[in-house]
Amino acid sequence: MFERMLKKVLDANKLLWKYGLVTYTWGNVSEIDRLTDYIAIKPSGVQYDHLSWDDIVVVDMDGNLISGKLGPSIDIQAHVEIYKAFPDVGGVVHTHSPWATAWAQSGRPIPCYGTTQADCFFGEIPCTRKMREDELGKDYEKNIGKIIAETFKDRDPMAMPSVLVNGHGTFSWGVNAKDAVHNAIVLETSAALALRTEMVNHGVMAPLDDIMQTKCYYRKHRKHGHEEQVMSE
Ligand SMILES: [Zn+2]
């Protein structure tokens, strides 16, 4: 009964592999059906080249298995927390993609140095705070999701559809699984460009002018009903 949803989530997971965002099984994509709050996600520990649509697992918001013969990705609780915190999100991606993860491991947000990033992300891509010792227990994955929500308490998650998890990797999201993967790919490209920009410059430099960042973002997103505003406001 979930065949269409499972095939969409399979295709999105295969895109991660195609674009080089995952090594071994270190990454996963999910999509939620907001009518039932059922979430389809990659199973735990299955290699991408062996993955078929009927391996995809369906769980509810409490992580209970609804459909599937395998266990869900161990990151499922982080996905659940993102869906709970951001009601407009329909798909979530987690990766350890190498360029973006280099920034995550440095604990640094990615400055917006050019239009590649500004077209997709409104401002610098944030990095979460370090996790406390008491957050590393059995609710570790759930706490990752909670810290992401905390990082976005004064941000619009639909205007900033990615985050770096301090010392760990990345999460991206979108209106569906495919859109979330698109944002994860732009994140990885932006991370590579930003790091190379600092190499060329021998260090940190000034970000793209606010007016240019605002121009780029709203040129791509005006059709979604956003009003133009000045970024520094
Ligand atoms: Zn991870």
Q: What is the CATH number of the domain that holds 175?
A: 3.40.225.10
Residue 114 lies in a domain: yes
| 103 CA from centroid of ligand 1 (Å) | 14
Residue 233 lies in a domain: no
Q: DSSP state, 48?
A: G
pTM flag (> 0.85): yes
Distance of CA 85 to the CA centre of its chain: 14
In this structure, are residues 122 and 208 in contact, taking their beta carbons and an 8 Å threshold?
A: no
| 89 CA from centroid of ligand 1 (Å) | 20
Distance CA 27, CA 94 (A): 5
| 177 CA from centroid of ligand 1 (Å) | 18
Tokens of 52: 């078929």
Kindly give the confidence (pLDDT) of every residue in the chain, 233 residues in length, as a single tens digit, with 9 standing for 90 and above: 799 999 999 999 999 999 999 988 889 999 999 999 999 999 998 888 889 999 999 999 999 999 999 999 999 999 999 999 999 999 999 999 999 999 999 999 999 999 999 999 999 999 999 999 999 999 999 999 999 999 999 999 999 999 999 999 999 999 999 999 999 999 999 999 999 999 999 999 999 999 999 999 999 887 544 444 444 43
Q: What is the pLDDT of residue 74?
A: 94
Three-point CA angle 229, 127, 41, nearest 5°: 100
Distance CA 81, CA 151 (A): 13
| 68 CA from centroid of ligand 1 (Å) | 22
Domain count along the chain: 1
Cα distances (angstroms) measured from residue 27 to each of 73, 88, 164, 205: 9, 22, 14, 31
| 206 CA from centroid of ligand 1 (Å) | 31
Q: What is the pLDDT of residue 232?
A: 44
Q: What is the pLDDT of residue 1?
A: 78
For residue 40, which phi and psi values (nearest 5 degrees)?
-100, 130
Residue 231 lies in a domain: no
| 26 CA from centroid of ligand 1 (Å) | 6
Residue 232 lies in a domain: no
Residue 160 lies in a domain: yes
**H-assigned helices in the chain:** 3-18, 76-85, 98-106, 115-118, 140-151, 177-201, 210-221
Residue 44 lies in a domain: yes
Residue 132 lies in a domain: yes
Residue 59, helix vs strand vs coil: strand
Give residue 80's domain range: 3-224
